[in-house]
Amino acid sequence: MERARSLRVEAVILRHSDWGEADRLLVIYTREIGKLRVLAKGVRRLRSRKAGHLEPFTRSVLMLARGRDLWIVTQAQTLDAYLPLRENLLRTGYAAYAVELVDRFSYDEEASPGLYRLLTETLERICMEEDPIPAMRYYDMRLLDVMGFRPQLFHCVGCGSQIIAQDQFFSAVLGGALCPNCSQKDAGARPVSMQALKYLRHFQRSSYAEARRAGLPAAVRPELEGLLQYYLTYLLERHLNVPSFIRLIRKQSG
């Protein structure tokens, strides 16, 4: 890739920012080479033919030419605009959450076809599912797997004993479940109910079709979301931006 003067990639647009008077700087995640920062010249002009193919969450085929400092988008063609994401603010929030996680966890020019496939499948599920929440929690668990942070949920990370059917603890520092006897090994460990742990374990070892059939009871959703945010925040060493936006939309929509 270092010697190539042009590239053809399939990519999801993660985000963009204005650049100069008429250009945009895009952060994209490609199937072939991972995350890239590329320049789209003239797309803020009214007559630009590329602008509609370069909106956030869009999956497009891009032709890139090497510039002095950045790859430059020379052609763009939409493969999937995921239109339902733009018609519902809550779905927009879920999509923004999915791309923020990819953006935070990935490094420039580090390919991960599995992560690209997970992202595109999740964007499609957010569009299609009447209730996208199970898809989002499944996404969290699968992303942890792909990025090498799979939590240990079947044996205590403190003593190695098998987790039994009772309330336990979860340690972000140690990377998994702690039995009650080992909870003191991490003062920051969070309690986790056996029901929440059951769903985490099921999502971790199941296909999406199997996870979807299991459903996700309303009573356990806040606990799962809070637990996963606790773990993701620890791994990233910073809070994510989008969850607070999603909470605000949920509150306003009643």
Spell out, as residue ranges, where the chain has pLDDT lower than 70. Answer: 1-3, 254
In order of 12, 80, 131, 146, 172, the CA distances from 118 in angstroms are 12, 15, 18, 9, 23
Question: Per residue in 95-144, pLDDT tens?
Answer: 999 999 999 999 999 999 999 999 999 999 999 999 999 999 999 999 99
Question: Per residue in 200-210, pLDDT tens?
Answer: 999 999 999 99
Q: Which of 120, 84, 125 is nearest to 102 (CA)?
A: 120
pLDDT at 2: 55
* Helix runs in the chain, H state only: 89-105, 113-128, 133-146, 194-205, 208-214, 221-236, 242-253
Following DSSP, what letter does each residue of 35-89 receive, concatenated?
A: EEEEEETTTTSTT-SSGGGSSTT-EEEEEEEE-SSSEEEEEEEEEE--GGGGT-H
pLDDT at 215: 84
pLDDT at 88: 93
CB 76 within 8 A of CB 60: yes
pLDDT at 3: 64
User: Residue ranges of the domains in the chain?
Assistant: 6-81, 84-253
Architecture of domain 84-253: Up-down Bundle (1.20)
CB 155 within 8 A of CB 161: yes
- Of the CATH numbers 2.40.50.140, 3.40.30.10, 3.40.50.720, 3.40.50.150, which one belongs to the domain with range 6-81? 2.40.50.140
Strands 23-30 and 6-19: antiparallel
Domains 6-81 and 84-253 fall in the same CATH topology:
no
Count of CA atoms in the C-beta half-sphere (13 A) of 164: 5
Q: DSSP character for 164? A: P
Tokens of 197: 């742990």
pLDDT at 46: 79
